Each structure stands twice: as structure tokens, then as C-alpha cells.
Amino acid sequence: MERAQLHDILSTLFHRLTDIEIEGVENVPAQGAFILTTNHISRLDVPLLMITTPRNDMVALVADKYKPNPLFSFIVHTTHSIWIDRSRADIDAFRGAKEHIKKGGVLGIAPEGTRSNTHALLEGKQGSAYLAEMMRVPIVPVGITGTEHAMAQILTFRRPKIHVRYGELYTLPPLDRADRNTSLQRNTDEIMCRIAALLPESYRGYYKDYPRVKELEKSLTTEGTSQ
């Protein structure tokens, strides 16, 4: 099966079985490499991003614990996405991610490193910030809500409401060579705060009280009012 066929099938299923609202998709560049960073609350998140991102060259970093799942294996194979072993520094996965970005593609990644069982943001890992620094590419943040209970609702013949919100493209500042660890953590916090600002407060978790989130939220509100 070709990727376009898979996209059509997934899109049809999502739109028939759920009530999807997509916001800010105009923030996604039509061409050029970038990293797509998202919160991760459900196994449906990756297929959802595949059908809502208006690019046909997005691949995702997917935890290899899902390899035994036939559906996920099929999606990863068809979209040429990349398995990653979250329990270690997976050099092969990062090499694959770098190669895809070099070709001008889009890389989808969940900076938390795992699915959140609480459905609220966990503390972000530094891998996304490190990759953005290494490849010098911009980032588009995404906030997803509603997928955490979607399967249970679908199985009881209800249409879950899912909201996918794309934020503005941005670029992280270069790392400070004199204090690399501190600046890497600063950039990681920025990545996570950008995601948090796109989410309702109940989804912000670890970043709920970060002043930067409030600052970003205020700027988003101002932009929405001025349009």
C-alpha cells in the first residue's frame, strides 16, 4: 500500500468516527525541513498527525515497544517512520532522523519521550532540543486534546471530540558553548512551554506554573483577538 492510500483510509476513519477540529494548520511550512513537537497522550496521536499535517513527507519517531502491534508496524513501514529504543541513546534512530531532515523532510517527535498516562505533560527530554541544534532547523509545536479517551468512546458508539492545534514556527537560540548543559535545558523548556501554551491548563502538567507558558498564552490570545 502507498502512503497516499493509507492517508485516505486513516482520514476517512478519523472523520467518520470522531469529531476533529484542526487549528493553526497555516503555520505549517509548505516546504523545507522542520521538527514537529507534540504532546503524547494516546496511541492515536501519530496517525492523527499523519492526516492533519499538510505535508506528505512527515515521519515520526515511534517507540519500538509498539513493534508487536500489527497496525503500528504497518503504519511505520508505510510512512517510512523510524523506530526508536527509548531505554537508551538510540544512535541508529537519531541517524535516521538526521538523514530525513537533511533531505528537507518533516520529523515528528514527542519530547516527553513516552506517552503520558496522566494525559498531562511530563518533563521534557533533551533529545528534541539537541536534534534541533545539531540540524539547525525550526520547530512547529502541536497541542493535542481528546485522544486520551477516544478509543473507549468509539467502542461505545460515541464520537470523541479531538482538537489539534498547531502553533507558530520558531527557531531556538544557539547553545552557549561555555555552558552547554544549561542552555540545552533552556531550549528544552522552551520546546515544552510552546506545546503547553497550546493546551488547556488541565493538560499542562509539569509546565502548568511556568511563567513562560503564561507569557506565550497571552501572546496567542492577543494574536487571536487581532485577527
User: What pairs with residue 144 in β-bridges?
Assistant: 164
59-76 per-position pLDDT tens digit: 999 999 989 989 889 999
- Domains detected in the chain: 3-226 (3.40.1130)
Contact 158, 17 (CB under 8 A): no
What is the SS3 assignment for 56? coil
Q: How much is the pLDDT for 30? A: 96
- Euclidean distance between the first and the last CA atom of the chain, given in angstroms as a whole number: 42
138-168 per-position pLDDT tens digit: 999 999 999 999 999 999 999 999 999 999 9
In sequence order, which ranges of the chain are alpha helices (DSSP H)? 3-17, 45-52, 70-79, 91-102, 127-135, 150-155, 180-196, 211-226
Burial class (CB in 10 A: 0-12, 13-18, 19+), 217: middle
d(CA 141, CA 111): 11
Q: How much is the pLDDT for 71? A: 87
Statement: residue 204 has pLDDT above 90: yes
Q: How much is the pLDDT for 151? A: 93
Q: How much is the pLDDT for 219? A: 85
8-58 per-position pLDDT tens digit: 999 999 999 999 999 999 999 999 999 999 999 999 999 999 999 999 999
Q: What angle do CA 107, 109, 113 make, to 5 degrees?
A: 155
**Torsion angle, CA of 50/169/221/173, rounded to 10 degrees?**
130
